[in-house]
Structure 1
Amino acid sequence: MISIFVAEYNRWANEKRRLKLHETPPSTPTGDIEKALLTMQNGSPGEITRCMAAIVGYREDPDLFYRALESYKATEGLDFTLVGVDGDQAADMDMVRVFQMVYPKNSAVIHLDEPLGEIAMRTYSKLVDPDMRTPEDIDYCNELTIAHCCQLAREILREHDIQFDKTQPGGGITKLCIYEPHMHKKAIMFTSFIFSIVISEVLDIEFMWSSDSDTIVLPDSLQKTIATVAGDENAGGASSGLVVHNEHDTLWTKLGSAVYWCELYLTRSTSASSGTSDCQSGPSTVFRISALPGILYCWYTQKVMGKRMIVNEDRHLTTNLLLRGWTVTYVSDTLTATDTPTTLSRWLLQQVRWGRATHIETFQQPKVYLLNHPVFFWAAMKREIGPLIVFFSILYYLITGHPFVYFCWWDLVFRAGYTIIYNWLRNPDRGPTNGFAWIIPALLFYNLPLPAIQIWSMATVLEGGWGTTMRSNGEMSKQSQSQLWKRWHDLGFFVLWMGVIGGTCARIAGGLLSWSDIAIFRALWVGILVPSVITFYALILS
Structure 2
Amino acid sequence: MSSSQQTMVAADSVVDGAKDMTEYPTASRQHSHRFRTLSLPRLGGTGSRRFNKKKEPRLEKWFKILFTFSAGFALILPVIIGYALHIPIISSNVVALGLGFYGLFVVLHYFVQGCFAQANRVRVNRLVRNRPANWRGLATGVLIVGYREDPELYRQCLESCKALQYDNLRRIIMVVDGDEKEDEYMGTIFQEVFGPDATVIVPGFNMPELGSESPEAKALYTELRGAKGPICILQKHGGKRHAMYCGFHVFLSCIPTDAIMVTDSDTYLDCNAVKELAFMLDDPKVGAATGDVRIWNDDNWISFLSALRYWGAFNVERACQSFHKCVGCVSGPLGIYRTEIIREIIEPWVSQKFLGVQCTYGDDRHLTNLTLKLGQQVVYTHYAWCLTETPTQFIRWIVQQTRWSKSFYREALFNARWFHRHSLWMAYELLFQFIYPWILMYAFFTVLYNPKSSLRLLLTWANILLLMGFLKSLYAVVITKNVKFLLVTFYGFLYLHGLMLAKIHAILFLWDNGWGTSSRFGAKMSKWQQYVFPIIWNLAIFAGVGYNIARFFLGITVDPLDLAHPEHQIILRWVYLGTFCGAIVLGILGYNIYKCTKRKRVVGSFAAQA
TM-score range, shorter chain: 0.7 to 0.9
* Aligned positions of 1:140-155 closer than 5 A: 148=213, 153=217, 155=219
1-structure distance, mates of 2:466, 2:392:
30
What runs of 5+ residues in structure 1 fail to find an aligned partner?
Answer: 23-42, 121-145, 164-172, 519-542
Verify the 8 A CA contact 2:470 2:489 in the aligned structure 1.
no
Measured after TM superposition, the shift of residue 83 of structure 1 is 0.2
In structure 2, the residue matched to 1:177 is: 232
**SS of equivalent residue, structure 1 residue 283:** coil
* 1:360 corresponds to 2:416: no
Q: Say if 1:421 and 1:215 are closer, same or farther in 2 by CA, change over 3 A.
A: same
Measured after TM superposition, the shift of residue 17 of structure 1 is 5.2
* 1:425 corresponds to 2:481: no
Verify the 8 A CA contact 1:59 1:95 in the aligned structure 2.
yes
Measured after TM superposition, the shift of residue 152 of structure 1 is 6.3
Measured after TM superposition, the shift of residue 336 of structure 1 is 1.1
2-structure distance, mates of 1:445, 1:412:
11
* 1:73 corresponds to 2:167: no
In structure 2, the residue matched to 1:278 is: 328
**Between Structure 1 and Structure 2, how many residues are aligned?**
443
Measured after TM superposition, the shift of residue 213 of structure 1 is 0.4
In structure 1, the residue matched to 2:203 is: 112
Q: TM-score, normalised by structure 1?
A: 0.75
* 1:92 corresponds to 2:156: no
Measured after TM superposition, the shift of residue 408 of structure 1 is 6.6
Q: Say if 1:296 and 1:386 are closer, same or farther in 2 by CA, change over 3 A.
A: same
In structure 2, the residue matched to 1:243 is: 294
**SS of equivalent residue, structure 1 residue 214:** coil
* 1:156 corresponds to 2:220: yes
* Aligned positions of 1:117-516 closer than 5 A: 117-120=208-211, 148=213, 153=217, 155-159=219-223, 162-163=226-227, 173-201=228-256, 205-230=257-282, 232-248=283-299, 250-402=300-452, 415-427=468-480, 435=484, 438-466=487-515, 470-471=519-520, 475=521, 486-509=526-549, 515-516=555-556
**SS of equivalent residue, structure 1 residue 310:** coil
What runs of 5+ residues in structure 2 fail to find an aligned partner?
Answer: 1-110, 559-610
2-structure distance, mates of 1:271, 1:244:
22
Measured after TM superposition, the shift of residue 411 of structure 1 is 6.0
Structure 1 range deviating more: 405-414 or 69-78: 405-414
**SS of equivalent residue, structure 2 residue 195:** coil
Of 43, 47, 51, the residue aligned with 2:140 is 51
Any idea what the Cα deviations from partners look like across 1:379-411, whole Å, max 9, x if unmatched? 111111111111222223333234699987776
Q: Say if 1:115 and 1:102 are closer, same or farther in 2 by CA, change over 3 A.
A: same
Structure 1 range deviating more: 5-14 or 53-62: 5-14
Q: Return the letter of the residue paired with 2:201.
A: I
**SS of equivalent residue, structure 2 residue 176:** strand
Over the aligned positions, Cα root-mean-square deviation in angstroms equals 2.9
**SS of equivalent residue, structure 2 residue 281:** helix
Q: Return the letter of the residue paired with 1:192.
A: G
1-structure distance, mates of 2:373, 2:148:
34
Q: TM-score, normalised by structure 2?
A: 0.67
Q: Return the letter of the residue paired with 2:171.
A: F
2-structure distance, mates of 1:373, 1:437:
32
Q: Say if 1:403 and 1:153 are closer, same or farther in 2 by CA, change over 3 A.
A: farther
Q: Return the letter of the residue paired with 2:285.
A: N
Q: Say if 1:84 and 1:466 are closer, same or farther in 2 by CA, change over 3 A.
A: farther
Verify the 8 A CA contact 2:361 2:516 in the aligned structure 1.
no
Q: Say if 1:73 and 1:391 are closer, same or farther in 2 by CA, change over 3 A.
A: same
Q: Say if 1:447 and 1:376 are closer, same or farther in 2 by CA, change over 3 A.
A: farther
In structure 2, the residue matched to 1:140 is: none
Verify the 8 A CA contact 1:247 1:254 in the aligned structure 2.
yes
Any idea what the Cα deviations from partners look like across 1:75-115, whole Å, max 9, x if unmatched? 11133110000101010011111101101132111212222
Verify the 8 A CA contact 2:452 2:557 in the aligned structure 1.
no
2-structure distance, mates of 1:469, 1:2:
34
Q: Say if 1:375 and 1:337 are closer, same or farther in 2 by CA, change over 3 A.
A: same
Q: Return the letter of the residue paired with 1:218.
A: D
Q: Return the letter of the residue paired with 1:89.
A: E
Structure 1 range deviating more: 324-333 or 336-345: 324-333
Verify the 8 A CA contact 1:393 1:403 in the aligned structure 2.
no
Measured after TM superposition, the shift of residue 373 of structure 1 is 0.9
2-structure distance, mates of 1:365, 1:322:
9
Measured after TM superposition, the shift of residue 57 of structure 1 is 0.3
